[in-house]
Structure 1
Amino acid sequence: MHSGSVIAFGEALIDRLGPPGGDPSLDLPITDCFGGAPANVACALSRLGANVSFIGSLGNDAFGENFKNLLIQRGMNTSGLQEDSLRPTRVVLVRRDSDGERFFEKFVGEKGLGFADQAIFCEQIIRDWPLLAENAKWLVTGTIPLASEISSKAFLWCIENALHSEIKIAVDLNWRPTFWRKEVSTVLEPSLKEKNQILSILKNVSLIKLAKEEAQWFFNTSDPTEISSSLPQSPSVVVTDGSNPILWRLNNHLGKSFAIIPSSVVDTTGAGDAFTAGLIYKLISVELDQISQQIAQDIIQFGIACGSHVCKGVGAIEPQPYLDEIDNLLSLSKGGIS
């Protein structure tokens, strides 16, 4: 176990996967998997051996109970996990194409008050924060909590208090328009309002991970140096692009790293979250401003191996790797080619 710990904040939900090439709202078989980017990252970190606390909210239902049990089984601190008796655990319909790529569609199960992950209340976090923040080195989160009024307040409070506690902040930009809009929209690009809401929190972060299309939408460039220099803290930036090379800037070191392609791709859900977890796992034990070019390359390669491993199984959490599996994969892949 690392001496430093990680706080993950945000949504825990259910990904309902349809059959490859099918419609998850109509076609069978469907597979319900635990998901939500921050919960995925928390579970992956915990399986690698990190000390993790999860802050989020689940419904008082079977999905919520089972998810809570999973988090406990993974050995993480769940004192920041809230239970909502009014709102259900969110179920997201996920369409998969024949290559395993996934597309987020509508939600099911809502009863008029929204979903549990939209109502992470600040009051409980304030009470638990001193214990959650003790020994924490990183706060890891996405941007989806900003899309709902209640969770947004809790989110902004955590950002502010992490800064006060000298906890570094890592954000996966994770743009999912379905979570931001009341009506199903075919427009993928963020509106100016949505864009500004997300950009406003990035000024305080130490690390941003985002996909190439997100980089173009939010920064009009996919160059990590340009993105970093556009923000006051000049954060480290990692730009992913599916199985294409990853562009990165860590502590002013630049690089381009190649994917490790798994022997078979079953499902890409959660691959980016496992990648993020791999980065954070390595960053717990090294100060960001002391990273050399070689250490930076090793950190990115470790993350790539974590992401690749998850694609070999169904769902985001169940196929997450143990540390020895990643060590084995890296020793076999020498130079990023498996």
Structure 2
Amino acid sequence: MSGPAAGTAHAATTTDVVCLGESMVTFLPSQPGRLADVPSFGRGIGGAESNVACALAAAGHRAAWVGRVGADGFGDHLVETIAGYGVDTSAVRRDPDRPTGIYFRTATDRGTGAHEVAYYRAGSAASAMSPANVPYEELFAGRILHLSGITAALSADCLALLRELTAPRPGRPLVSFDVNHRPRLWRDGDAGVLLELARRCDLVFVGEDEAEEAWGIVGAEAIRAALPEPSVVVVKRGSAGATVFASGPRPGPRSSNAGGADSAAGGAEAGEGAAQAAGRDTVTVVPALHVDVVAAVGAGDAFAAGFLSATLRGLPVRDRVRHGHLMAAAVLTVPGDLTEPPARDHADRLVALDDGAWGRLRLGPGWTAADRAHEEVRTP
């Protein structure tokens, strides 16, 4: 069954987070240099929403990824690899007429002018997603539905789909939205639509830099003023950390048992940098960690996964942000977009540190191995 009429919530929720979006096969260079000079590439996977699903599944949550891939070998590789992380891929659809998207990138940090990415996604199977061909019953089966602005940029049909999924309706799960502004995808479109979509969601992740680039909005407070509706707005501020604006309690992700629902905005307790904002918001500021970066790819997706994981556990806002920082640090200290997250008890111990100890943490490659934490986690 497809279409909005299928959006009624399941009586028994069996999934924590459902992620919808395009995943592509990624070709990673064998050595640094221009794409024109790299002699060979290794194969991986890439996709903001599937990255979040994989990270959540690796952290012990029940995660599902919904998308469309071609009826080709690359589609086989994507579905098999994502499922290998423990993600439910049963709702992925195969398109016999359109290919799976692929892209090539250089080894250079994407934040530099030397970074190159060559996308081959126009006309991909995922770009054909629409309100008429996605399985709504699977999308609304979880406690949280996670979306991103990348999907909205793929086609008019994809934008229509996101408008349907973010529309208010009975039984809608908590909707999480990562703005994920990609200028290259919006060269022929209006990125202002991302603001429209974000305002219809419950939990929004947005970077200060992308809000300025996409909307001309500068500063965390101005971003919150432009996004008054979501219960929680997480403003990512790079090396400065993150600022979270959380309103009073609203319905959180549906509980999968009789224990009731968590509150998406609840737990915004007084803590590091926390203060009462004008009106009904609590503002929580959490500094970023010192990280020995190996590759700055996939960190935003990992941060979202860490924050969502802690949200599902009903942790206070400060702890949700800290778990996001830790999950991002795990990815930043490896070459690819995905890695094994820290063990939950290890992450919980770090999250519980006092402000001074948190500020002195420095994480490098290998830190996620709990039995080596004393070697890799330095507190000078």
Under a length normalisation based on structure 1, what TM-score does the superposition of the two structures give? Answer: 0.81
- Matched residues in 1 for 2:36 and 2:100: separation? 17
Residue in 2 that maps onto 1:38: 49
Task: Summarize the Cα distance change of 1:8–1:247 in structure 2 as closer, same or farther, 3 Å threshold.
Answer: same
Contact 1:20 1:100 (C-alpha < 8 Å) held by counterparts = no
CA shift, 1:85, in A, is 2.2
Percent identity between the aligned chains? 24
- Which deviates more from structure 2 when the two are superposed, residues 145-154 or residues 322-331? 322-331
Higher helix share: 1
Does the alignment pair 1:50 with 2:61? yes
Residue in 2 that maps onto 1:186: none
Does the alignment pair 1:275 with 2:296? no
Residue in 1 that maps onto 2:289: 260
Superposed CA offset, 1:241-271 (max 9, x none) = 3333222223322132222233x32212111
Residue in 2 that maps onto 1:107: 119
Contact 1:20 1:98 (C-alpha < 8 Å) held by counterparts = no
Residue in 2 that maps onto 1:188: none
Does the alignment pair 1:158 with 2:199? no
Q: CA RMSD in A?
A: 2.9
- Matched residues in 2 for 1:318 and 1:60: separation? 27
Task: Summarize the Cα distance change of 1:325–1:317 in structure 2 as closer, same or farther, 3 Å threshold.
Answer: farther
Does the alignment pair 1:199 with 2:195? yes
Does the alignment pair 1:175 with 2:178? no
SS of alignment partner, residue 167 of structure 2: helix
- Matched residues in 1 for 2:207 and 2:353: separation? 27
**Greater relative contact order (CA < 8 Å, ≥ 6 in sequence):** 1
Residue in 2 that maps onto 1:249: 245
- Which deviates more from structure 2 when the two are superposed, residues 273-282 or residues 168-177? 168-177
Contact 1:310 1:321 (C-alpha < 8 Å) held by counterparts = no
- Matched residues in 2 for 1:23 and 1:325: separation? 39
- Matched residues in 1 for 2:34 and 2:104: separation? 9
Residue in 2 that maps onto 1:212: 208
Task: Summarize the Cα distance change of 1:323–1:84 in structure 2 as closer, same or farther, 3 Å threshold.
Answer: farther
The unaligned stretches of length 5 or more in structure 1 are 183-192
Does the alignment pair 1:90 with 2:101? yes
The unaligned stretches of length 5 or more in structure 2 are 1-12, 248-280, 363-380
Task: Summarize the Cα distance change of 1:85–1:326 in structure 2 as closer, same or farther, 3 Å threshold.
Answer: farther
CA shift, 1:72, in A, is 2.0
For residue 145 of structure 1, the aligned residue among 151, 154, 171 is 151
SS of alignment partner, residue 213 of structure 1: helix
Say how many residue pairs are matched. 312
CA shift, 1:78, in A, is 1.8
Task: Summarize the Cα distance change of 1:250–1:265 in structure 2 as closer, same or farther, 3 Å threshold.
Answer: same
Contact 1:210 1:240 (C-alpha < 8 Å) held by counterparts = yes
Q: Point out 4+ residue stretches in structure 1 off by more than 4 angstroms.
A: 98-104, 319-322, 328-333
The AA in structure 1 aligned to 2:73 is A
Contact 1:248 1:255 (C-alpha < 8 Å) held by counterparts = yes
Under a length normalisation based on structure 2, what TM-score does the superposition of the two structures give? Answer: 0.73
Does the alignment pair 1:312 with 2:333? yes
Superposed CA offset, 1:119-168 (max 9, x none) = 1243342xx3234423x22211111221212322332222237x432312
